[in-house]
A = this chain, B = another copy of it.
Amino acid sequence: MPFEIAATDSNSQARAGLLHTAHGSVPTPAYMPVATKGAVKTVSVPELEQMGANAIIANALHLYLRPGALNLQRAGGLHKFMLWNRTIFTDSGGFQIIRKKLNIKKNDDGLIFKDFFNGSIKHYTPELCMEMQHAIGSDVAMLLDDCPPFDAVPSKVKEALQQTLLWSKRGIQRGRELGLPQIFAIVQGGTDAALRRYCTEELEKLNPDGYGIGGLSIGEPKEVMIQTLTDTNHILPKEKVRYLMGVGSVKEMLDAISLGVDFFDSTFPTQCARHGTIFTSQGRLNMKGLKLEKEDRPLDENCDCETCKKYSRSYINHLLRESEMLGMRLTSIHNLSYVLGVIRKARAHILEGTFIQFKKSIQEGDITPS
């Protein structure tokens, strides 16, 4: 079995596991930095390795447009193209439907949209989506899903669910033919418990290797997200990976871990970093709003990342104010290291049976330096 569960927390649904792929074993729970187009914004692969990232996630739809399947295949796949030798997940591109500016149309045959670059019309079928992930050399591929916006009317949520089921059926068949090592189905159904149950039960019939939990953290209130996640995890088979898509705030990840989630991805840590919002053990520090010229200490005194080992708040603050890319790189390295570190510690605490205490100790409020 590619997924092993090493321990389950007795006070919550949290579990510590290992996902085995051809590019190493990923200890879970795991947070994946996002390399949509084959690079995690501002940071290099050696920097990702240094901070202990074991898996990243790229986007099949973006890579389909550029550099395209042929170029990726010729390069020997995304691992060789970007020089990342650890695990690669790939998202299918279904999530892009909710980005209104992309103006993506859909029908039973998949997505129809204008190529962002040359204006040509693209037909992105559930099968093509798997062929693309095959060209990428993805370790864990996602089936094409139809993600409705959080405020969609019930009829639209149902329609998207049916579309997801149809596309998943077509996609997994093609994916198995191609021999993709692991294929995850994405659960949709909005915030309706009955629809989530129905979707999960139907997807189970396809026997995917794991499950993405889609359609959450897209604008709905946090309580609604937690309730939907609780409902969904309750139904998902325990022995398979559960990957909550698009969640990257530490508090939300810890809540989701306590409900039995294994994987996360989100651009939130790097987006915050580029805009000067720093995650620390004391809470969130918004560098742009503060006078940090006199602060010789690191971003987080309890952090041993490459940024905090060397650089002062005053220098990083200066770089961000001057729009120097080095500043965004240093804050991205820190925020990613911080998130990876919290999730790594969460796993250790699950193994030790102290996860709930650890979860309570994590601060995420805004702080002002003294």
Contact = CB atoms under 8 A, between A and B. Distances in A.
Interface of A: 37-39, 41-44, 66-68, 71, 74-75, 81-83, 293-294, 296, 310-312, 314-315, 318-319, 321-322, 324-329
Contact of A314 (B43, B67, B319): B67
B37 A81 contact: no
A329 B326 CA distance: 9
A179 B311 CA distance: 29
A319 B37 CA distance: 8
A285 to B, nearest CB: 18
Contact of A41 (B314, B315, B318, B325): B325
Given A71-B314, A81-B315, A294-B71, A324 B37 contact: yes
A314 B44 contact: no
A318 B38 contact: yes
Nearest to A78: B315
A326 B37 CA distance: 12
Contacts of A322: 37-39, 66
A329 B318 contact: no
Chain A interface main SS type: loop
Contact of A39 (B41, B75, B293, B326): B326
Contacts of A83: 310-311, 315
Contacts of A44: 326, 329
Given A37-B324, A75-B312, A75-B314, 11 more contacts: A38-B318, A39-B319, A39-B324, A39-B327, A41-B325, A43-B326, A66-B318, A66-B322, A67-B318, A75-B296, A81-B315
A38 B325 contact: no
B81 A312 contact: yes
Contacts of A39: 319, 322, 324, 326-327
Contacts of A81: 312, 314-315, 318
8 contacts: A39-B319, A41-B324, A44-B326, A67-B318, A71-B314, A81-B315, A81-B318, A83-B315
Contacts of A67: 293, 314, 318
Which of A83, A293, A328: most chain B CB closer than 10 A? A293
